[in-house]
Amino acid sequence: MGSLLRTEAEARADLIDLTSYDVALDLDQGAETFGSEVTIGFDCREPGASTFLDLEAVSVISITLNGEDIDPATVADRRVTMAGLAPHNTVRVVSVMRYRQDGEGLHRAVDPADGRHYVYGMSFLDAGPSIFACFDQPDLKAPYDVRVRAPHDWIVAGNGAAERTAPGEWTLATTPPLSTYFVTICAGPYAVETDEHDGIPLGIYVRASLAKQLAEQRDDIFEVTKQSFDYYHRLFGIRYPWGKYDQFFVPEFNAGAMENPGCVTLRDDYVFRGAHTRTELLTRANTIAHEMAHMWFGDLVTMQWWDDLWLNESFAEYMAHRTTAEATQYTEAWVDFGISRKTWGYGVDRSPSTHPIAGASAPDAESALTNFDGISYAKGASALRQLAAYVGDDAFIAGVRKHLTDNSFGNATMSDFLGAVEAASGRSLTEWTEAWLRSSGVDEISVDVHERDGVIERAELVVTPPEGGAGGRPHVLEIGAISDGHEERRVSVQSDTTRTTLTELAGAPRPKLLLPNVSDLTWATSLLDERSLDSVVEELAASEDPLTRLAIWSALLSGADTGRIDPIRVVEAFGAAWPQEPVPSLSDTLSGRVRTLYPYRLVPHADSADASAVLQDAGRRRLASVDGTSPSALTAARLVAATSTDANLLSQWASDVDRPAAAAGDQDFSWAVVARQAELGQIASADVDRAAAADESLSGHLATLRSRAALPTEEAKTWAWDQLFGTVDLSNYEGLAIAQGFFAGYGENAAAELLRSYVDQFFAALPIVPKKFGDMAAEKFVLMAFPHRVVERAVADAARTAIDSSDNTAGVRRALADSLDRLDRALVAQDRYSTAASKHPTTEG
């Protein structure tokens, strides 16, 4: 049996009402399996009818329905069929479950730093039945009573407050009604920091080997948590409904975080073990605010079915940046949103796999993840930001409050949410919904100027819908008229047509830069006229407004991404302006994006060494101009380490000699240098082993795997390939680390031919990936392992063949489509902007 069908879920919801779950888990049976016992109370509207439970067990010991045994041998295709239902029913299932290593179900990880074991539950999307038998769909909610048996030196936590009732025995408080995909258990020898705010008990948990780092960082985490609580209480007008609030930073987590009510799980990379930047702190703060927003929107009010999953995430994405910008010290959060999240989403929305924000069919649970991407997060959040501007913020928040109040502890749809906003604002949203939520692609916006003798006679905002798009998407935005860093005029526009006259600009001197979407308020590609484009480097250096600089960078990056601007022009702008960029979000994200996507990808291979040299020089100049102990110095040092080919410098930095002070003694920086040395072939396997011996942490273990896989030798590639596609058992994180290193360095070392020989094998082996690493990790694996630097049409053709293959899952095909789009854009850029002297065989396939 495949994924649960929507029709099956609707029929089951029409038939039964849940009244209770009682779950008992025995986690003290060894490292492979655990015991699971569940008793479920439910009522049936049609006595005598049949329904089914969802269950994925190693073995089923017993099943009883209303005191009558059901033969465990009848369990098939993850389902327990129950016939002859009574008006009031009790079903009890006792089974043995397997711990997982793919970040789903009940995941069990071993910390190599001390050999200790850690467990956490991830029930999303359909992983709940691998923990306990259940009615696994979002609109069947019930209260939960949970009891856990665990090793005596473990602590246990979950959605309800936990009490140790005897050595190794824990009972959790009864929860309000929950959907199955929110249920979690976290257990192990976790270190903990506690606090309290506004009557809410707070806990932060991390594996024992990170206890020191947690103690150092707890104040920032608690501060953001408290500020977010205060902001949401004011904004929503509803008290936090889940009792205590635990945040578990867990190992080998698939996503950024998961919004389990009362017990949020987050990847433990967010507890930084060494040097870190303000941007990394902002990202953690944003994630904390994001998951807390879900406590109301998603947890208190849950989607009816998975086709509205986008709305949960779009709302939390929007609210997190709003909260972080308005309630915490990270006031630059909207700048970060524009350069990191929107840039990601634009790439997806311009790709062949683009899709509407809403309205995507989800005939079964698994298909909901097919279109779960940068559109669901960044574009959806941008649409909600536009909605707030369109109806007015007061009306928008009033609609949110009404939606949450009317549907508390229940389920609702997108129509319910928009209906609440309509009721609060008095405005029909039918046309707005069609234009923003049910159409796909990115509009292009530009300013059409007619001038005489340097004076603007007429100016219009021009909105061009994507090819094949319906058009008519309204935009609320601002246009900036800028010269020498001075904003001469800012024009606010609510555009409902393809051309909107900008009367405020008529009669004014023509500025050097006319910048659409200057405050980055809407979702669109800004096209710059040639005069404006010629001034961007000067204006980047002169402008004091970070949103203006963001808007300029967004136009440049979009221009290169769509083939309108030579990628070298972006590299040159980076070299000229980046060393002076004062906002960490812009500085950090730009350095990562440009060094990753430009040399050896958008920039032709023959020109890429020069492009990397520009980036390295920018990093060196920034290092020379900032305090060596500052996070800015760390960002610059990371850029130099990632782009340098200087064997002497890298060798010194790997040995912690003459490093910038911000990176001195930092093990993660050491590994970044070692990885770079490995990519370039400057070190051997024995050197990686020596670095590994000095760092036996989980991070060190993963870095070791990545570095070994990056070595440009036949022995290293054979080893890595066997690890990835052979019978070796790997956790999802181990697989991703090796995948990340495998094709690294292509074009920069002598192993291009060796690596090229693996490309066809890569596409042929993809059907193995979901089976080995799980569906959620499989998509990340494909994005990580894809041979992005092998910019050849033959690779694009192989990717297309793999996308068409029914042997690959929908998630793998989707990740391939996104990777192929990036490759196609690189092919276009290299063909369009390569000079005859720089033509390289990889551009001709």
The residues that are catalytic are 291
Nearest 5°: the CA angle 389, 393, 399 is 115
- HSE-up (13 A, CA, CB side) for residue 149: 10
Of the chain, the end-to-end C-alpha distance in Å amounts to 42
Distance CA 158, CA 186 (A): 6
How crowded is residue 373: how many other Cβ atoms within 10 Å of its Cβ? 24
- HSE-up (13 A, CA, CB side) for residue 44: 20
Per-residue tokens: 454:
């340097």
Distance CA 816, CA 818 (A): 5
Per-residue tokens: 37:
């016992």
DSSP for 346-390? HHHHTSTT---SS----SBTGGGGTT-SHIIIIIHHHHHHHHHHH
Q: Residue 652: enclosing H or E segment and its boundaries?
A: helix 647-654
CA-wise closest residue to 121 among 173, 188, 183? 183
CA-wise closest residue to 620 among 645, 606, 637? 637
Q: Residue 457: enclosing H or E segment and its boundaries?
A: strand 455-464
Distance CA 254, CA 252 (A): 6
Indicate if the alpha-carbon torsion angle 565, 570, 571, 575 is positive or negative. positive
Distance CA 365, CA 123 (A): 13
Distance CA 121, CA 203 (A): 17
How crowded is residue 215: how many other Cβ atoms within 10 Å of its Cβ? 13
How crowded is residue 693: how many other Cβ atoms within 10 Å of its Cβ? 10
Report the amino acid identity of residue 286.
N
Contacts of 300 (CB under 8 A, 6+ apart): 238, 241, 404, 408, 409
With b for 16 or more beta-carbon neighbours within 10 A and e for fewer, the 726-744 pattern comes to: eeeebbbbbbbbbbbbbbb
Beta bridge partners of 191: 206
Distance CA 94, CA 49 (A): 23
Distance CA 146, CA 23 (A): 5
Q: What is the DSSP letter of 836?
A: G
